[in-house]
Amino acid sequence: MTSPVSYADVVPGTELPAVTYPVTRLSLVKYCGASGDFNVIHWNERVARSVGLPDVIAHGMFTMAQAGRYVTDWAGDAGALVEFGVRFSAPVVVPDDDVGAAIEVSGTVEEKLDGNRVVLGLTARSGEAKVLTRSRAVVRLP
């Protein structure tokens, strides 16, 4: 948790430090159970390959959750989001090894709006792939 950010201190154009979040096969098994999304491509590489994927892939919503954590940790308030939207531009491929994959999220303060709202532009990468594009969050700050 970072300390809460105040609206007055936010400067448009500021680039926020990137944060890397790990994802392993265990992460996906846990996310299947917690979310109720048991789509086979998230845990069975035989089926994933049979439908043309390189390997098991993470749930898009798992990746979005990492971006959500990035924003709420920056804001210092997990309930600060007013709007949150992402586009899943490539899958996060999760190999069956002890390391898994990494999701690197970065953000930029794009704009300050009335009502103490701030717009963040977000991107996420995994390896060479951009996995989230045209993504943004609007948070309300104190």
Partner 1 sequence: MGINKDYLGRTFPVTDPYEVSRIKIAEFAGAIGDPNPVYRDRAAAQAAGYPDVIAPPTFPVVIAMAASGQAVADPGLGLNYAMVVHGEQRFEYSRPLHAGDVVTAQSTISGIREVGSITMLTTETVIRTAEGEHVCTGFSTLVERGEA
Instruction: Build a one-symbol-per-residue string for 17-56: x at contacts with partner 1 by CB under 8 A, - elsewhere.
Output: ----xx----x--xx-xxxxx-------------xx----
Binder among 16, 43, 55, 88 for partner 1 (CB under 8 A): 88
Measured CA to CA, the distance from residue 3 to residue 72 in angstroms comes to 11
What does the chain come to in residues? 142
69 counts as binding partner 1 under rule CB under 8 A: yes
Q: What is the CA radius of gyration of the chain?
A: 16
Binder among 72, 106, 123, 126 for partner 1 (CB under 8 A): 72
Between 60 and 95, whose beta carbon lies closer to partner 1? 60
Q: What angle do CA 103, 5, 64 make, to 5 degrees?
A: 25
Interacting residues toward partner 1 by CB under 8 A: 1, 21-22, 27, 30-31, 33-37, 51-52, 59-62, 64-66, 68-69, 71-73, 77-79, 81-88, 91
